[in-house]
Structure 1
Amino acid sequence: MRAADGVVLVTGGSRGIGAATCVLAAGQGYAVGVNYLQDATAARRVIEQIGALGGRAVAIQGDASAEPDVPRLFDTLQEAFGPVTALVNNAGVLDRQARVEAIGAARLRRVLETNVVGPFLCAAEAVRRMSTRHGGAGGVIVNVSSRAAVLGSPGEYVDYAMSKGALDTLTVGLAKEVAAEGIRVNAVRPGIIDTAIHASGGEPGRAARLGPGLPLGRAGTPEEVAEAIVWLLSGASSFVTGAFIDVGGGR
């Protein structure tokens, strides 16, 4: 393992892409904050995996879309390992597959709270701490968007796709806003990835159904998305900001 490259907070870090990112980042020398909302057991498993690699991590319970919780997430990680130098906005939700006319305001608010308000609040807190304008030493933000932002998810999750489109706009605007303040902001857009999120939409086997139809002939893995995220966190991408990496198997 290399010497620590920094301290990274991963929202929604207990499962799927978030968990894979936590483990990979720890293996690259980052001290990791594994944020989770409810599943403490899953977060503990991620911490155990990181420990087995000789890495450093702490589990941090909290709602990344709740304004009172957000500073505490950063404070807890800073108390454990020092100033936070990187943020991965990974926490996200979707609801059952439905057409637009069947989607009500309550569902829409829930999706937007988690997928748009949460990343915005976390990014703002990261800027307050990382920006040279505020006395920080700089840092990196990576937003986990989706190919749905481009494709629209008709007949399934237009609300989810819309929320990820908003996250793409945040990525572009914030990247330009803080580029001169030592902060890079980028995004990855996963496509059909084999994670438990498909069960939330009512089709646990969605990745298996759609994967063979992709140009690469299969669904992706959380670890493949994590590789792109951790590259964007690293100094290897030091001249990259306001950019998107599509991890979608050609779709």
Structure 2
Amino acid sequence: MSDRVMIVTGGSRGIGAATARLAGAAGYAVLVNYAANAEAAGAVAAEIRAAGGQAETVRGDVGSEADILGIFEAADRMGRLAVLVNNAGVVDQPSAVADMDLARLERMFRINTIGSFLCAREAVRRMSTARGGEGGVIVNLSSAAAKLGSPGQFVDYASAKGAIDTFTVGLAKEVAAEGVRVCAVRPGIIETDIHASGGQPDRVATMTPDLPMRRPGSAEEVARAILWLASDEASYSTGAILDVSGARAILP
């Protein structure tokens, strides 16, 4: 049993996997959540354990409340929940709003927004000093898209992440006196396979010449920001949304 358990949703790939690895090295007992790829999640957990850390895996779709409850039950078996990283998310094929159907919108908001709400709910129930907990940290994953709008491609995704920004600020104020800090990171164009899952495997390469730093970010660069927000070094930061976008999120 550990007193520093971290849940990383969507921890089998990309930013989630990088966060899980750094968390294991930092001494957290890491619960690597995955929706489908058990082999990839197992590889991340095995890497953490091989380096001397603690890690377990748990299957669960954050679009399902029942699965979310199962994720947190698995965390309870590991020890005291100290950090939740709300990382799991999806994109879809590029589309104009006029061509989006209800099924796409429901999936987008169910996983990217409602799932984060429900995971945070379960975390607060365990962390809040007003509910018998010992405090903790929630780090939400937003996106530069929340500020840029992603017209003609991913307005639904951008809107779901915009909701995460508002949620982060509101929940942070709600539980600030209960020992729970709530922050977010807002990544820009990051070199991960989420672009391929949205039907654009070459998106990063195509956009790189137009990025302010002329390069994409790495998953580890985002993960380091997440670990800082979760650490005691950020003890007076709550409601903060940290851009990790190479200046992309501040462009008009």
Q: TM-score w.r.t. structure 1 length?
A: 0.96
Q: Which deviates more, 229-238 or 209-218?
A: 209-218
CA contact (8 A) 2:213 2:246 kept: yes
Residues 1:41 and 2:39 aligned together: yes
Give the aligned partner of residue 145 of structure 1.
Answer: 142
What is the alpha-carbon distance in structure 2 between the residues aligned to residue 200 and residue 161 of structure 1?
16
What is the alpha-carbon distance in structure 2 between the residues aligned to residue 29 and residue 166 of structure 1?
32
Give the aligned partner of residue 11 of structure 2.
Answer: 13
CA contact (8 A) 1:141 1:233 kept: yes
CA contact (8 A) 1:131 1:182 kept: yes
What is the alpha-carbon distance in structure 2 between the residues aligned to residue 24 and residue 248 of structure 1?
20
Structure 2: segments with no counterpart, 5+ residues: none
CA contact (8 A) 1:32 1:56 kept: yes
Pick aligned residue for 2:161 from 155, 161, 164:
164
Superposition pairs for residues 53-92 of structure 1, below 5 Å?
Answer: 53-79=51-77, 81-92=78-89
What is the alpha-carbon distance in structure 2 between the residues aligned to residue 5 and residue 147 of structure 1?
33
Residues 1:204 and 2:201 aligned together: yes
Say which SS state the counterpart of residue 184 (structure 2) adopts.
strand
The Cα shift of 1:202 comes to: 1.3
Give the aligned partner of residue 180 of structure 1.
Answer: 177
Which amino acid counterpart does residue 27 of structure 1 have in structure 2? A
What is the alpha-carbon distance in structure 2 between the residues aligned to residue 108 and residue 220 of structure 1?
28
Which amino acid counterpart does residue 117 of structure 2 have in structure 1? F
Which amino acid counterpart does residue 32 of structure 2 have in structure 1? V
The Cα shift of 1:223 comes to: 0.4
The Cα shift of 1:40 comes to: 0.3
Give the aligned partner of residue 108 of structure 1.
Answer: 105
What is the alpha-carbon distance in structure 1 between the residues aligned to residue 53 and residue 146 of structure 2?
34
What is the alpha-carbon distance in structure 1 between the residues aligned to residue 97 and residue 44 of structure 2?
36
Q: Which deviates more, 58-67 or 225-234?
A: 58-67
What is the alpha-carbon distance in structure 2 between the residues aligned to residue 203 and residue 75 of structure 1?
36
Structure 1: segments with no counterpart, 5+ residues: none
Q: Which runs of 4+ in 1 moved over 3 A?
A: none
Deviations 1:145-191 (A, max 9, x none): 10000000111100000000011111000000000000000000000
Equivalenced residues, count: 247
Pick aligned residue for 1:121 from 118, 123, 133:
118
Which amino acid counterpart does residue 109 of structure 1 have in structure 2? E
Q: TM-score w.r.t. structure 2 length?
A: 0.96
The Cα shift of 1:52 comes to: 2.1
